[in-house]
Amino acid sequence: MFRRLKLLKLGKNLHSRCSSTYTGNNSKFNQNLLFYGPASAVFIVGGLYEGKKRLFREAEAATAHIPTPPSFEPPDRNDLPTFKLSDVEKHGKNAERIWVTYKNGVYDVTEFVTSHPGGDKILMAAGGSVEPFWAIYAQHKTGEVMEILETLRIGNIDKKELEASKTKVANADDPFSLDPPRHPALLVNSQKPFNAETPPSLILDNFLTPNDLFFVRNHMPVPQTDIKKHRLQVSGLGINKPVELNVDDLKLKYEPVDVISVVQCAGNRRNDMNEYKKVNGLMWTGTAISCAKWTGVRLRDLLITAGVNPNDRKIKHVHFEGADTDPTGTRYGASIPFHKAMDPDTIVAYHMNDQDIPQDHGYPLRVIVPGNVGARQVKWVTSIKTSDIESPSHWQMKDYRAFSPSVTQADKIDYNSVPAIQEYPVQSAIMTPATGTKVSKDDGTIDVAGYAWSGGGRGIIRVELSADNGETWYSAELQQDSEQDLERMWAWTLWKAEIPIPKGIEPGQKVEIVCKATDRAYNTQPETPSGLWNIRGLVNTSWHRVKVDITE
Amino acid sequence: MFRRLKLLKLGKNLHSRCSSTYTGNNSKFNQNLLFYGPASAVFIVGGLYEGKKRLFREAEAATAHIPTPPSFEPPDRNDLPTFKLSDVEKHGKNAERIWVTYKNGVYDVTEFVTSHPGGDKILMAAGGSVEPFWAIYAQHKTGEVMEILETLRIGNIDKKELEASKTKVANADDPFSLDPPRHPALLVNSQKPFNAETPPSLILDNFLTPNDLFFVRNHMPVPQTDIKKHRLQVSGLGINKPVELNVDDLKLKYEPVDVISVVQCAGNRRNDMNEYKKVNGLMWTGTAISCAKWTGVRLRDLLITAGVNPNDRKIKHVHFEGADTDPTGTRYGASIPFHKAMDPDTIVAYHMNDQDIPQDHGYPLRVIVPGNVGARQVKWVTSIKTSDIESPSHWQMKDYRAFSPSVTQADKIDYNSVPAIQEYPVQSAIMTPATGTKVSKDDGTIDVAGYAWSGGGRGIIRVELSADNGETWYSAELQQDSEQDLERMWAWTLWKAEIPIPKGIEPGQKVEIVCKATDRAYNTQPETPSGLWNIRGLVNTSWHRVKVDITE
């Protein structure tokens, strides 16, 4: 089933790939995989260990020459009626007729859905604009696609209403009123503060998660920062005189560094743990994790320039504060151990996937601490402070600590009984198929794909799947960043496998598929949340389980 | 039950502690714990996280002033008969009368066994000499103990036979004929080459495993090295001229460094994995692990002095060769990543627990790579070589790699499918009670104790026990080295707990106790070997399980 995918040649440009997707191949798996970005066109076959098999960077290089597509404008169609945005909204994914907009054009895509090469994904835009999706899937931005779309045109959106819809108005009573617009595909766990996951059906499409689809974990309203006025203060133990820097200082005075690194929330997969036994917190499913390329300056360079002696034994921790505040004015804060702050890959970033970091992700500056939990990678960072103690922040001292399973009452927690989470344990999850997917027995096999990652730079050495709760295992093919080795792998591993439907399973029955990964230190995931369970539902790394329905 | 132990004061000298053990308290748990070395007299109560609670070094300091006991000589007893050593051997632990020797004295300890404060442990010496045990339990070497012993005297060993028994004769047909004498308490898995575990009943007695009881993993005959003639060559990539050093060079020309560090065989607990599903290899149970203080010189200092540039990007690995050879003359070899070789705690050691390293453990020089698997900590080291590739040694390329559970045939292994084991995953095991121990229901609780450790310097943050397969958990009290923090903890964690016998368990039934540890990166152990199983039976870190019998 993977054969067709493997035939895709590196260097084949997006246009011709896009055309080939219009041939109407409707296999569920091809639909998914054809939408993998060009970076993932070739998977590792078999083991991952030899560097030459890790092809992400090569693939990236091979497609880097593709020009940015021009901006397309739908033609004026005064012969067609004008609709309100609220009219379009009524034609969502459950409506009889499916409408979408592109700029001021309105389109009825009902008949097109079945021939859309991205399959059901088009329904994510139903009742709204396709633009946020096309921003991510650039292959749509061709004359050919516009031509197809215009054949489905049924009307116009009033241009004034369109403009007005883009303007946000501050509301003094709502501290969240100036939060930025978000991509409609994000799965929202909480609006205020905004917390949302990447859709599992889209997360494997790109090795580097597009900025708009990167999961969002906000503790407070998004601060209204200004790249021209933003200041970063570096101070603390071993620094005689605090240093104040603006964003241009960082860009001009320090060596720029790129790091491809995952950010994962400590609460990722909390929902699975909650199903085992009730826990407290945002019910993240499996996609509070994303991977991006971050560009910035080494934290160690900032500290050394400020006067820190790298061998100073009094400095134990480095604290960060963000510009985000709670109603009492308390800023978000966290700290990391000094040795990690001095790691050459720990950076203060100003770019995310070659763009300014978006407002939701820390504009204009955030700390990237590769291999550590998201909570320490402080966004909108304004202050860096060396210290002999940990950050006294609530989020360092009283949150993001996973207590013993024996602690079952939230009011009886001894916060000093465990250390603040820093490095993450080994994790993996199945992104496709989703639970409830129907798989025909005649297929004989099930196509499975997902991600894996471990903290501390411990690369993933293998991912295995079982359809019989661990009796029989199948190894997945892995996709990794070819420029990172297993000793310092901050990027994630995407993987896929084709596993046989177990013998004796008949139509009408379910098959539970489990996955688990092994990292460079040969740590692997526990079977169930039993030994992991903690009242805050953190670091759930138990085997991920998905149940599919076998049909005729 | 731990109360009596906690009353022991730091600084109380060995003599008075030893006297107090003769009061005849026969509680099974006190017997174990009273034999904990002075270093472990105080356990951490509750969480471990605050450094001040880790008391090993303080306790060590408090007892460091105790003078080395004098050598005792049994008096001449011409009034008693003379026995042969073979006569004594007949009075082993299953004989009607239990005999032991001390130097040239023969003693009948049958009546004394029940009042021995170390309990059954005295039976380990039955039919032989108590000297190897007294070498470890120095509290015996007092006038008071000798006085008690002499009351049990029944005869003499002929002094000439005694001398002759200590002389080894080389046998040209047996390459193992010059292997050193070993402690009789070691549990032998293989005689030639010699491979043996520390007895679980003794392993918790000392935070630093006594040299004589340190587990032994030999691949070949023990080489007959000479500390005066031994040479260490440093050469390879980035070194213009090879450097040759003798042991005095190391001691005199380089800064000495102490590191308390665990060595664990990759095959530790293989036997448990074999019970789950057959694997190949030496059937280590749970004590192919020990902890010692190593003294030597930094490998990084040796390399830099030899001309290596610490930032040389071409050097990827550092190879080691030992003086031990197989019949074809092939030496044992292994390598570690360059970054690990440059870690200031990676050393070439010449002392083990303040003594010359014993023959079995690498005399006169061995590499200590804290946090890595034993196989890379090359003994009898003669050569250190920088390189851009891994060691081509059999033990690097074709052994000490844990394959996928999907690889079930030894002849179908793709050795490149996984990397050589370096850092170890998180591990823990129960040392007491042993499976089959009888526990009275009236006790209400079960006293459990064991060890925990993780690779990469990831300190153990907690150890938990369950008597109902993970439904309910109890946290153990931990003992750690107070000079190592959770970020770089090379030493192990000893632990103990008192857990209730589950409700509804009646005399005649069994209770299965499980333990699992969590490390600094929040990795924890998997429930079963299901996801860990590999044909070579390596890195079994599944929950350790012990079944005790509940009696009236």
Dig out the tokens for A290 from the structure.
Answer: 């994303």
Looking up residue A269, the CATH number of its domain turns out to be: 3.90.420.10
Residue of B nearest to A400 (CA): B522
Q: What is the pLDDT of residues B66-104, one digit of tens each?
A: 444 556 788 889 999 999 999 999 999 999 999 999 999
Q: Which residue of B has its CA nearest to A403?
A: B462
Rounded Cα distance between A326 and A175, Å, is 9
What is the average per-residue pLDDT within B368-387?
98
Using the beta-carbon criterion (under 8 Å), do B464 and A527 form an inter-chain contact?
no
User: What is the DSSP code string of A185-224?
Assistant: TSEEEETTTTEEEPPHHHHTT-SS--GGGS-EE-SSPPP-
pLDDT band at A65 (very low <50, low <70, confident <90, very high): very low
Q: What is the distance between the alpha carbons of residues B219 and B453, in angstroms, rounded to a whole number?
A: 24
What pLDDT band is residue B58 in, cutting at 50, 70 and 90?
low
Would the CB atoms of B404 and A473 count as touching at under 8 Å? yes
The answer on B319 and B208 residing in a single domain is yes
Residue B19 lies in a domain: no
Q: In what order do the strands lie in the sheet with B317-325?
A: B243-246, B231-236, B381-387, B317-325, B331-337
Whether residue B435 is contained in a domain is answered as yes
Both B323 and B235 in a single domain?
yes
- Top residue of B523, B535, B536 to mutate, by most chain A CBs within 10 Å, is B523
ipTM, 2 dp = 0.85
pLDDT score of A168: 74
The number of beta carbons lying within 10 Å of the beta carbon of residue B58 is 15
φ, ψ of residue A361 to 5 degrees: the values are -110, 10
**How does residue A58 score in pLDDT terms, banded at 50, 70 and 90?**
low
> CB A423 to CB B521 under 8 A?
yes
Here the CATH number for the domain that contains residue A164 is: 3.10.120.10
Identify whether residues B296 and B348 lie together within a single domain: yes
Chain A residues touching residue B458 (CB < 8 angstroms): 423
Tell me if A476 is assigned to some domain.
yes
Q: Is B32 inside any structural domain?
A: no
Distance to chain B for A133, nearest Cα, Å? 37
Complete DSSP assignment for B338-355: HHHHTSTT-EEEEEETTE
Tell me which chain A residues have a C-beta less than 8 angstroms from the C-beta of B406. 464, 472-475
Burial class (CB in 10 A: 0-12, 13-18, 19+), A453: buried
- The mean pLDDT of chain A is 88
Flag if B530 and A531 touch (Cβ within 8 Å): no
The band of B12, judged by pLDDT with boundaries at 50, 70 and 90, is very low
Of A543, A552, A514, the residue nearest A438 (C-alpha): A552
Cross-strand bridge partners of residue B157: B83
Is the pLDDT at B10 greater than 70? The verdict is no
* B206, two tokens: 């000392």
Is A183 domain-assigned?
no
Sign of CA dihedral B427, B433, B436, B439: negative
Known catalytic residue at A265: yes
Class of residue B151 by CB neighbours under 10 A (exposed 0-12, middle 13-18, buried 19+): exposed
Read off the pLDDT band of B516 (50, 70, 90). Answer: very high
SS3 B466: strand
Nearest CA in chain A to B47: A417
Say if residue A161 is in the same domain as residue A284: no
pLDDT of residue A71: 65
Question: Which of A398, A418, A440 delimits the end of a domain?
Answer: A398
Picking from A53-57, A84-88, B148-152, which range would have the lowest pLDDT averaged per residue? A53-57
Given the residues A36, A400, A424, A451, the one annotated as active site: A400
| Residue B515 annotated as catalytic | no
Which token pair is B5? 């132990």
Interchain CB contacts (distance < 8 Å): A and B = 138
3-state DSSP assignment of residue B235: strand
User: Is residue B297 a contact partner of residue B249, using CB atoms and an 8 Å limit?
Assistant: no
Q: Give me the residue from B473, B486, B531 closest to A527, CB to CB.
A: B531
* A462, A523, A540: best to mutate for the B interface, most B CBs within 10 A: A523
**Cα→Cα distances A407→A396, A418, B514, Å:** 19, 12, 18
**Interchain CB distance below 8 Å, A416 and B49:** yes
Write down the pLDDT at residue B60. 60
Domain shared by A161 and A196, yes or no = no
Residues A520, B423: C-beta atoms closer than 8 Å: yes
Cα separation, B121 vs B432, whole angstroms: 13
How far is the CA of A318 from the CAs of A245, A324, A340, A362, A476, in angstroms?
Answer: 17, 19, 9, 19, 39
Residues B195, B316 within the same domain: yes
The total domain count for chain A is 3
Residue A337: cis peptide before it, omega within 30 degrees of 0? no
- What local confidence, expressed as pLDDT, does residue A60 receive? 60
Q: Are A517 and B523 in contact (CB under 8 A)?
A: no
In a domain, B311, yes or no: yes
Share in percent of chain A as helix, strand, coil (round to 5): 20, 25, 50
Q: CB distance B404–A472 less than 8 Å?
A: no
Domain extent, residue B356, equals 188-398
**Contact between residue A266 and residue A283 where contact means Cβ atoms under 8 Å apart:** no
Going A429 to A433 to A434 to A439, the CA torsion angle's sign is negative
Interchain pair B527, A532: CB under 8 A? no
Q: Are residues B316 and B380 in the same domain?
A: yes
Which of B524, B534, B541 would best serve as a mutation to test chain A binding (most A beta carbons within 10 A)? B524
Q: In sequence order, what are the residues at sequence separation of 6 or more whose Cβ sits closer than 8 angstroms to the Cβ of residue B461?
A: A418, A419, B48, B49, B486, B518, B519, B520, B522
The domain boundary, picked from B170, B203, B232, lies at B170
> Which of A424, A516, A521 is facing B424, going by the closest CB pair?
A521
Of B456, B474, B516, the CB nearest to A531: B516
Residue A92 CA to residue A90 CA, distance in Å, equals: 6
Q: Give the containing element (helix H, strand E) for B163.
A: helix B159-165
d(CA A529, CA A541): 8
Residue B291: active-site member: no
pLDDT of A42 strictly over 50: no
What's the rounded Cα separation, in Å, for the pair A334 and A322? Answer: 9
Confidence at residue B154, expressed as pLDDT on a 0 to 100 scale: 96
Position B29 scores a pLDDT of 34
Whole-angstrom distance, CA of residue B456 vs CA of residue B468 = 31
Active site residue A291: no
How many C-alpha atoms does B517 have within 13 Å on its Cβ side?
Answer: 31
Question: pTM for the whole thing?
Answer: 0.86
Give tens-digit pLDDT for A82-118.
999 999 999 999 999 999 999 999 999 999 988 888 8
Q: What whole-number distance in Å separates Cα of residue A435 and Cα of residue A286?
A: 12
The pLDDT value recorded for residue A298 is 98
Residues B312 and B382 in one domain: yes
Q: What percent of chain A has pLDDT over 70?
A: 87
Largest CA distance in chain A: 76
Identify which of A416, A426, A458 has the shortest CB distance to residue B47. A416
Structure tokens, B12 = 């109380």
A43, part of any domain: no
Token output for B145 = 């103990």
Question: How many Å apart are CA B72 and CA A448, to the nearest integer?
Answer: 72
Helix (H, G, I), strand (E, B) or coil at A389: coil
Residue contact A339–B487, C-beta within 8 A: yes
CATH of the domain at B456: 2.60.40.650
For residues A430 and A285, what is the distance between their CA atoms, to the nearest angstrom? 11
How many CA atoms, within 13 angstroms, populate the side-chain half-sphere of residue A160?
0
Instruction: Determine whether the interchain pair B416/A455 forms a contact, defined as Cβ–Cβ distance below 8 Å.
Output: no
From A18, A91, A137, A265, active-site residue: A265
Is residue B64 over pLDDT 70? no
- For an interface test with B, the pick among A412, A522, A527, A536 (most B C-beta atoms closer than 10 Å) comes out as A522
Candidate list B91, B217, B317, B462, residue with the active-site label: B217
pLDDT of A20 reads 29
- Residues B311, B352 within the same domain: yes
pLDDT in tens, B277-306: 999 999 999 999 999 999 999 999 999 999
Q: How many whole angstroms separate alpha carbon B329 and alpha carbon B323?
A: 10
CB B38 within 8 A of CB B474: no
Q: Scanning every residue of chain B, which has its alpha carbon at the shortest distance from the alpha carbon of A515?
A: B531
pLDDT > 70? residue B31: no
**Nearest residue to A267 via CA among A409, A418, A427, A397:** A427
In a domain, A31, yes or no: no
Chain-wide mean pLDDT for chain B? Answer: 88
Residue the block writes with tokens 């990397």: B419
Q: What pLDDT score does A135 carry? A: 82
Identify which of B417, B425, B487 has the shortest CB distance to residue A521.
Answer: B425
Q: How far is B292 from chain A (nearest CA, A)?
A: 22
How far does A398 lie from chain B, in Å, by closest CA?
14
Better-predicted residue by pLDDT, A343 or B30: A343
Tell me the chain B residues in contact with residue A425 when contact means C-beta distances shorter than 8 Å.
521-524
Who among B50, B455, B473 is closest to A406 (CB)?
Answer: B473
Q: A448: part of which helix (H) or strand (E)?
A: strand A445-453
Whether residues B498 and B379 share a domain: the answer is: no
Residues A342 and A230 both lie in one domain: yes
pLDDT at B364 over 70: yes
Is the link from the previous residue into B433 a cis peptide, with omega within 30 of 0? yes
Which of A111, A135, A170 is the C-terminal boundary of a domain?
Answer: A170
**Per-residue confidence (pLDDT) for residue A61, from 0 to 100:** 56
Task: Please tell me the predicted confidence (pLDDT) of residue A486.
Answer: 96
Percent of chain A at pLDDT above 90?
75
Residue A3 annotated as catalytic: no
Six-digit token string for B55: 């008391």
Confidence of residue A10 (pLDDT cuts 50, 70, 90): very low
- Please indicate whether residue B489 or residue A119 has the higher confidence score (pLDDT): B489
Q: Are residues B162 and B197 in the same domain?
A: no
> If you count DSSP H runs as helices and E runs as strands, how many of each does chain A have, helices first?
14, 26
| Tokens representing residue A27 in the block | 């296999």
> Which of helix, strand or coil describes residue A385?
strand
Which of B128-142, B416-430, B508-522 shows the lowest per-residue confidence on average (mean pLDDT)?
B128-142
Q: Please judge whether B487 and A414 are an interchain contact, meaning their C-beta atoms are less than 8 angstroms apart.
A: no
CA distance B264 to B291: 9
